[in-house]
Amino acid sequence: MSASMSHGANAEPNLTPMLDMVFQLVTFFMLVINFKGAAMDLSLKLPVVGSARPVDAKGKEELLVLNIDHEGQLKVYGEPKPDVKGYIAEEARSYVAAAKQKDGNFQTGDSLPAIVVIRADQATPFELLNRVIKTCQDHGFQDFALKAMNRPQ
Amino acid sequence: MRRRRRKAPGDVELNLAAMLDMAFQLLAFFIFTFKPAPVEGQLLLHLPPAQAVTKVAANPNQPGGRSAAPPPAEMNALMLSVLSASSGDVGALKFGTSVLFQGPANKNSLARLDKKLKEALASPTSPFDQVTLQIGPKLRYSELMKIVDVCLKQQLPDGKPLTKISFVELPSGADL
């Protein structure tokens, strides 16, 4: 750069306030980001039940989120799972292994320390829903959370 | 008037432009991945393992001649049968063996169910500690949730809320 140019009007913007503002925005988005949202299939129309309560895990931190569409197809993290029994059995095995590691007295066949969160479309017939619930029960899951909306969207 | 500080020859100035670039990239990432989740509620249930229903009595009033099995005596479960219409709505609801209402589950019919359940469950002499729902296979999930919602509002004689509910699927001939 020539010396004559550097002696001209030096108009460098002060970037500090802009950086402050951007960091505040970044902080906001970091706080409101919801990684669990990826487990939800937002194309499903949940039923509306006025008394549905917000999520309460009852001390059980493990949630197995199962999305079931109106044709009874199981989707987990957006991926269809045609082999429902195989998938649930695999999940149950991993929960059993984790429970045994945590609690030495845990026996195979005990109620698994996880809540099965069922997100089913409001038009899903019971026979298709019941297949999934029954498979979960057969593999030791006993606590279920049936998802619904508090008010119509 | 503010006096501008004169730069000392050894002053080090941080170049904020690079940091700002990075912050903008982070911001762009968070903006593009931001998807506000809908506010969902849930009904918590303790579903004991399914019990085998062994006694299936023939019922001439039902199409196909089949009906729900009576509850085994040792279960202490109050039996509700929810028959489904072909549209997936509630066709009829049986409280034990008697029909409580026929037709869709509307505000009035659900209020009747609520009243009947209160009478059966909250009484100090009530033998019931759980509810077994026998459900028609075509019943839509939204209709099922209406019935489950009424059940979960009930209290047992000890004041604890009812959370034990079992689902049993009725044979397809039991639908209306």
Residue B31 lies in a domain: no
Residue B64 pLDDT grade (very low, low, confident, very high; cuts 50, 70, 90):
very low
* Co-location of A23 and A68 in the same domain: no
Residue A8 pLDDT grade (very low, low, confident, very high; cuts 50, 70, 90):
low
Residue B121 lies in a domain: yes
Residue A18 lies in a domain: yes
Residue A4 lies in a domain: no
d(CA B106, CA B149): 13
Among candidate residues B38, B90, B113, the one with its CA nearest the CA of residue A48: B38
Residue A1 lies in a domain: no
Residue A86 pLDDT grade (very low, low, confident, very high; cuts 50, 70, 90):
very high
* Co-location of A42 and A98 in the same domain: yes
Place of tokens 């119509």: A152
- Other Cβ atoms closer than 10 A to A77: 11
Residue B41 lies in a domain: no
Residue B13 lies in a domain: no
Residue A44 lies in a domain: yes
Q: Which residues pair with A119 in a beta bridge?
A: A67
d(CA B73, CA A66): 34
Residue A90 lies in a domain: yes
* Co-location of A31 and A43 in the same domain: no
Residue of B nearest to A143 (CA): B46
Percent of chain A with pLDDT over 90: 24
What are the backbone angles phi and psi of residue A49, rounded to the nearest 5°?
A: -130, 120
What are the backbone angles phi and psi of residue A34, rounded to the nearest 5°?
A: -125, 100
* Co-location of A23 and A85 in the same domain: no
* Co-location of A140 and A103 in the same domain: yes
Assess whether pLDDT exceeds 70 at residue B2.
no
Q: Which domain holds residue A99?
A: 38-146
d(CA A96, CA A111): 9
* Co-location of A44 and A114 in the same domain: yes
Assess whether pLDDT exceeds 70 at residue B54.
no
Among candidate residues A118, A111, A78, A71, the one with its CA nearest the CA of residue A92: A111
Q: Does B21 touch chain A (CB under 8 A)?
A: no
* Co-location of A54 and A87 in the same domain: yes
Q: Nearest CA to CA, how far is B138 from chain A (Å)?
A: 5
Q: Which domain holds residue B79?
A: 63-174
ipTM over 0.85: no
Residue B47 lies in a domain: no
Check if the beta carbon of residue A60 is closer than 8 Å to that of residue B60.
no
Residue A6 lies in a domain: no
Q: Does A89 touch chain B (CB under 8 A)?
A: no
Residue B65 pLDDT grade (very low, low, confident, very high; cuts 50, 70, 90):
very low
Assess whether pLDDT exceeds 60 at residue B15.
yes
Residue A76 lies in a domain: yes
Distance of CA B55 to the CA centre of its chain: 28
* Co-location of A17 and A52 in the same domain: no
Residue B97 lies in a domain: yes
d(CA B120, CA B114): 10
Among candidate residues B100, B61, B58, the one with its CA nearest the CA of residue B78: B100
Place of tokens 């028959």: B83
Number of structural domains chain B divides into: 1
Residue B5 pLDDT grade (very low, low, confident, very high; cuts 50, 70, 90):
low
d(CA A88, CA A66): 10
d(CA B86, CA A111): 36
Q: Nearest CA to CA, how far is A110 from chain B (Å)?
A: 11
Biggest CA-to-CA distance, chain A: 84
Q: Are strands B90-95 and B98-102 parallel, antiparallel or unpaired?
A: antiparallel
Check if the beta carbon of residue A66 is closer than 8 Å to that of residue A118.
yes
Residue B3 lies in a domain: no
Q: What is the pLDDT of residues B116-172, one digit of tens each?
A: 888 888 888 888 888 888 999 999 999 999 998 898 888 888 888 888 888 888 887
Check if the beta carbon of residue A30 is closer than 8 Å to that of residue B34.
no
Q: Considering chain B, what is the average pLDDT of its residues?
A: 78
Q: Does A57 touch chain B (CB under 8 A)?
A: no
Q: What is the pLDDT of residues A32-67, one digit of tens each?
A: 877 766 777 778 888 888 777 776 666 666 888 899
Residue A123 pLDDT grade (very low, low, confident, very high; cuts 50, 70, 90):
very high
Q: Does B159 touch chain A (CB under 8 A)?
A: no
Residue B162 lies in a domain: yes
Cβ contact A146–B43 (<8 Å): yes
Q: Among A109-118, B35-44, B48-57, which is the least confidently predicted range?
A: B48-57
Among candidate residues A60, A51, A88, the one with its CA nearest the CA of residue B41: A51
Check if the beta carbon of residue B147 is closer than 8 Å to that of residue B93.
yes
Q: Nearest CA to CA, how far is B150 from chain A (Å)?
A: 9
d(CA A19, CA A12): 15
Q: Nearest CA to CA, how far is A104 from chain B (Å)?
A: 23
Q: Does B152 touch chain A (CB under 8 A)?
A: yes
Pull the structure tokens for residue B57: 């009595």
CB burial of residue B20 (10 Å; 0-12, 13-18, 19+): middle
Check if the beta carbon of residue A136 is closer than 8 Å to that of residue A74.
no
Amino acid at position B90, single letter: V
Q: Which runs of consecutive H residues, i.e. helices, occur in B39-140?
A: 107-121
Residue A73 lies in a domain: yes
